[in-house]
Amino acid sequence: MHIQKAEGFRKAKEITRKFARTFYLASLFLPREKKYASYAVYAICRLSDETVDENISHSDKENKLRRMEEEIKLAYTQGENGGPLLEAFRQTVDNCKIPREYFDELIAGMRMDLKIKRYSYFPSLYDYCYRVAGVVGLIMLKVFGYKDAAAEGYAVKLGVAMQLTNILRDIKEDSLRGRIYLPLEDMERFGVSEEQITACRMNERLSELLRFQIERCRKYYDDSSAGIGLIDNSASRFVVLCMKEMYSGILDEIEKNGYDVFGRRACVGNLRKARIILKIILGRKYL
C-alpha cells in the first residue's frame, strides 16, 4: 500500500506540473508534506473539471462525473483500494481533515456546467464560482493549516477572485463551448450582445464591460489579502501570496492587451513570475 500511495503522489505531481504551471512553480517553496498533499488535491479537482470540458456527449460527461463523485466518496471510507491516485488522495483528506462536503460542493459546481450555459445575474455566477473555486480555497486552507476561523472567508474570496479571472481570460474558449459566464444583466447594461461574444467582436462597449468586471474581480483579491496572515506557516503564506499576485496579474495583461480577449489570451510570463517571487521575498510581507 505504501508503494501504491507513493505512485499516486508521483502521478498527482505530474498532473499538477502539466496543467497548473503557475501553482506548480509556487508549490516548490512548500514543505514536502504540504507540497504533495496539494498535488493530490489538485489532481482530483483537475480530473473533475476535465470531465465536463471533454468533447463527449452530455450523458457520457454525466456518467464520468458520477463515477468521479463515487471515487471521492470511496476515499472517505476504509473500504476497497481505489488505485494509486485515489490512495494518495485518501491519505491527504485524512491527514488534513478535509470535510467531504467541500468536494460535494465542487462536484455540484461541475454539474452546473453540464446544465447552465448562461447566468442572468452576478449572484448566480457567484454561487457557481463558490462551488468550483471558493471551496478549493477552503480545501487548500486545510492543507496549509490555520487556527483562526476568519481565514475561511478570506480563502473563499481568493478562490472566487481566481475563478472570475479565469472567466475573463477564457471568454473566447468558453464561447466556443457554448458558454457565456458574463452576467447577462451586465452585458445588457453595457450594450453587449451574446452574438457579439460568440462572433468574437471587440468594441468599446465590450471594453467598458470588461473594465467593470475587472474592477469587481480586483475587489475580491483586495478583500482576500487580510486572510493570508492567518495561515499558520510562512512557506504556505508565501505560496498563497505568489498565487494571488500571479493570478491577479492576468487582469493586468488583459488591460495591456487593450481588453482584446479574442485576439490574444492573457497570461503572465515566466519573467514576470520570477519578478513577483523576488519582490515578495524582498518585501517579506506575511513571511
pLDDT digits (tens, 9 = 90+) for 196-216: 999 999 999 999 999 999 999
CATH 2.60.120.560 fits 116-287, yes or no: no
What is the predicted pLDDT for the residue at 151?
98
Q: How far is CA 98 from the centre of its chain?
A: 17
Q: Which helix (H) or strand (E) holds 279?
A: helix 270-283
Nearest to 264 by CA among 256, 273, 276, 274: 256
AA identity, residue 223: D
Calpha distance 128→132 (Å, rounded): 6
Phi/psi for 268 (5° steps) reads -100, 120
For 229, which DSSP code? G
Calpha distance 287→278 (Å, rounded): 13
Q: Which helix (H) or strand (E) holds 24?
A: helix 21-27
Quick check: 153 pLDDT over 50? Answer: yes
Calpha distance 99→64 (Å, rounded): 22
- Exposure on the CB side of residue 150, measured as CA atoms within 13 A: 9
SS3 221: helix
Nearest to 196 by CA among 97, 204, 131: 204
Mean pLDDT estimate for the chain: 92
pLDDT digits (tens, 9 = 90+) for 3-50: 778 899 999 999 999 998 889 988 999 999 999 999 999 998 887 655
Common-topology check for domains 1-115 and 116-287:
yes
Q: Delimit the domains of the chain by residue range.
A: 1-115, 116-287
Quick check: 80 pLDDT over 50? Answer: yes
Beta carbons within 8 Å of 272's beta carbon, 6+ residues apart: 249
Joined grid coordinates for residue 192: 453587449
Beta carbons within 8 Å of 152's beta carbon, 6+ residues apart: 138, 141, 146
- Which carries the bigger pLDDT value, residue 51 or residue 208? 208
What is the predicted pLDDT for the residue at 79?
63
For 81, which DSSP code? -
Q: Specify the CATH number of the domain 1-115.
A: 1.10.600.10
What is the predicted pLDDT for the residue at 1?
47
Nearest to 236 by CA among 97, 28, 46, 43: 28
Determine the average pLDDT of the residues in 263-285.
Answer: 89
Rounded (10°) angle between helices 150-169 and 135-144: 130
